Chain A
Amino acid sequence: MWEHRGKVAFAGVGHAEVSRRWDEDVESSIGALAIRAATRAIEDCGLKLEDIDGIFSSPGPLGGAWAPRDVPTSITDRYQMTPGDLEDGVAKVSAAWLARNMGFSAPKVVEDRDVIIGTILNHAIDAVAEGRCDYALVVRPLNNFSGRYGQEGASDGLVSGPNQFQHPYGFSGPARIASLFQRYLWKYGRKHEELADFVVNNRRNGLMCEYSYYYQNRPEPLTREEYLNARWVTEPVNLYDCDMPVHTAAAFILTTADRARDLKNPPAYVLSRAGIRHRPRSVTASLEDLEEANAGFAARLYEDAGVGPKDLQFANLYDGFAVVTPMWVETFGLAEKGEALPWMTADRIAIEGSFPLNTAGGSNGVGRTHGVSLHYDSVLQIQGRANQRQVQNNGLCIALSGPPPDAPGAQILSADPAP
């Protein structure tokens, strides 16, 4: 078991409003949203600004750089910008930018890591566990600008770096995920359409979630027919398998279990945390390699927590590409290899089902927050603060962000520090 099992806890969370893209107003700049999310998280715990002594950010940018456009003077007039980096506060938000502009006096830890939310949460958990800070604020800014998201292919028609082996074939974006999923479907004799219950349920959960893009802007359910008739992005990955890029920011507060017990919300105790970093076998990742490596990752997470798959009551497993969730369901032992798709049926995975899965709809039902909602809703569920989507058995869960071939980060969270 992990020596710090149950000794660190999530105390509170905060989210900024979610829009499709930045409208270039200073009030909705990514810096303003990050400050709003952080302020809300601090207030959510009943803490004051001066209590926070650790600031962590995964700064971005995510939806592409702002340069070469000029930064609006409405932003440079209001904020103390970062010398030599005018994108800070506009296309990304560093921990130092946040510390400066929120007026933190002397935080002990100010740390940036360009990693998925689950992994930067793990860094903050370790900082609290090891006593490097008492109250850690973790911020995830998620910018999305006008124009098409993530277009590639230089105008000079040349391609260098790792892309020289991929882009000449049009292999980009979800292609590496489609390659894994096609292999999965072939290996286990499954069909894409078996994902329908999961994706439809993600939208349903998202429409019960106050910090979802769909709840705030587009309160429309997704029908099974719409899902099955959606256009392919790259077959076997369709439009609704991909989360929608959004513009928002979210924040988390972590502290020691003892301190958390004196704050406003019930603590969501961290029983274990783990991450893994994969190196693709060749030009892209191999399903067989990932199955083997991720089995070790899951074993570590469970052993450190002193619990097993049968102890979990619900799970929030990354679904930015919904086709990867069945692989995670199997990795963490919720279903046998190749059996996740028939396991992910509406009656089981719904909020009122026997094993709720992705309780806020994940990235699929909230928007492309790069996995934020998987951790954010795990905290709210454990704390019993998930309102209309509250699950009944909310004692123990797993929260994981990141697709299998990258560097995912996960925690096992519990309402009881020593179950």
Chain B
Amino acid sequence: MPKLVPAPDEVSKPFWDAVNEKRLVAQFCLDCNRYQHPPQAVCARCDGRNLEFRSLSGKGKIYSWQVMHDTRVRQMQEHQPFLIAVVECDESPDVWLLTNLPGSEPNQFEVGDPVEVEFEEVGPGKFIPQFRVVRQ
């Protein structure tokens, strides 16, 4: 079964458009000077509408992780067990992205380890961000 492909909406389209060009961006509120992710129509903190997408370095660190053995998502069940990690981007503690940590096995990394973005093609021309542990 092919993997799930994100279906962007009006608000999330700039994020996925960038990802499909292998760039990582996040929404930034010019009124309260903070990032937010996932993108929303207004700033969830200040209700501000002056939002723009800013490029991210693609660098971050692992906030938490798990080994999924029994996901409810049908399209991922054939890949079990697989890793899922929460990544905090270096630009902001408010921008977290998920990843399956390609190239890593459990117990080869720890919370706080640095990661770097790459892009996985889940459909023709359709990508999702993934992160790989940076070996030091």
Residues of chain B within 8 A (CB-CB) of A161 are 9
- B6 touching A171, Cβ below 8 Å: no
Instruction: Indicate if A101 sits at the interface (CB-CB under 8 A).
Output: no
Residues of chain A within 8 A (CB-CB) of B86 are 179, 283-284
- A234 touching B4, Cβ below 8 Å: no
- Given A282-B96, A283-B98, A170-B73 contact (CB < 8 Å): yes
Please report whether the interface of chain A is mostly helix, strand, loop or mixed according to DSSP.
Answer: mixed
Instruction: Indicate if B23 sits at the interface (CB-CB under 8 A).
Output: no
- B94 touching A234, Cβ below 8 Å: no
* In-complex Cβ contact of B64 among A151, A153, A164, A182 (8 A): A182
- Given A158-B4, A186-B111, A170-B71 contact (CB < 8 Å): yes
Instruction: Indicate if B104 sits at the interface (CB-CB under 8 A).
Output: no
Q: A257: shortest Cβ distance to chain B, in Å?
A: 41
Residues of chain A within 8 A (CB-CB) of B99 are 169
Query: A231 vs B67: C-alpha distance in the bound complex, in angstroms?
Result: 12
Instruction: Indicate if A168 sits at the interface (CB-CB under 8 A).
Output: yes
- B69 touching A235, Cβ below 8 Å: yes
Query: Who on chain A is nearest to B95 by CB?
Result: A282
Residues of chain B within 8 A (CB-CB) of A335 are none
Hey, what's the 0/1 contact readout for B107-126 against A, CB within 8 Å counting as 1?
00011000000000011000
Instruction: Indicate if B66 sits at the interface (CB-CB under 8 A).
Output: yes
| B window 53-82: CB within 8 A of A | 63-76, 79-82
Hey, what's the 0/1 contact readout for A141-183 against B, CB within 8 Å counting as 1?
0000000001111000111111011111111110100111011
Instruction: Indicate if B22 sits at the interface (CB-CB under 8 A).
Output: no
Instruction: Indicate if A108 sits at the interface (CB-CB under 8 A).
Output: no
Residues of chain B within 8 A (CB-CB) of A281 are 93-94, 96
Query: Who on chain A is nearest to B82 by CB?
Result: A170
Q: B58: shortest Cβ distance to chain A, in Å?
A: 16
Query: A188 vs B27: C-alpha distance in the bound complex, in angstroms?
Result: 33
| 17 A-B pairs (CB sep. < 8 Å) | A151-B72, A157-B123, A164-B7, A168-B6, A169-B84, A170-B82, A173-B70, A173-B72, A175-B66, A179-B63, A182-B66, A186-B111, A232-B81, A234-B70, A234-B84, A235-B81, A286-B63
- Given A158-B4, A169-B100, A170-B82, A283-B37 contact (CB < 8 Å): yes
Residue positions of B touching A, CB distance < 8 A: 1-9, 12, 36-38, 44, 63-76, 79-82, 84, 86, 93-100, 106, 110-111, 122-123, 128
Query: A7 vs B65: C-alpha distance in the bound complex, in angstroms?
Result: 46
Query: Who on chain A is nearest to B45 by CB?
Result: A279
Residue positions of A touching B, CB distance < 8 A: 150-153, 157-162, 164-173, 175, 178-180, 182-183, 186, 231-237, 279, 281-284, 286-287
Query: A178 vs B83: C-alpha distance in the bound complex, in angstroms?
Result: 12
- B66 touching A170, Cβ below 8 Å: no
- Given A168-B5, A171-B98, A183-B63, 19 new contacts (CB under 8 A): A153-B72, A157-B2, A158-B7, A160-B8, A161-B9, A167-B76, A168-B128, A171-B68, A173-B71, A175-B71, A179-B65, A179-B84, A182-B64, A186-B111, A232-B69, A236-B66, A282-B38, A282-B96, A287-B64
Query: A175 vs B36: C-alpha distance in the bound complex, in angstroms?
Result: 21
- B64 touching A157, Cβ below 8 Å: no
Q: B17: shortest Cβ distance to chain A, in Å?
A: 13
Query: A169 vs B1: C-alpha distance in the bound complex, in angstroms?
Result: 14
- Given A164-B7, A236-B66, A282-B95, A183-B71 contact (CB < 8 Å): no
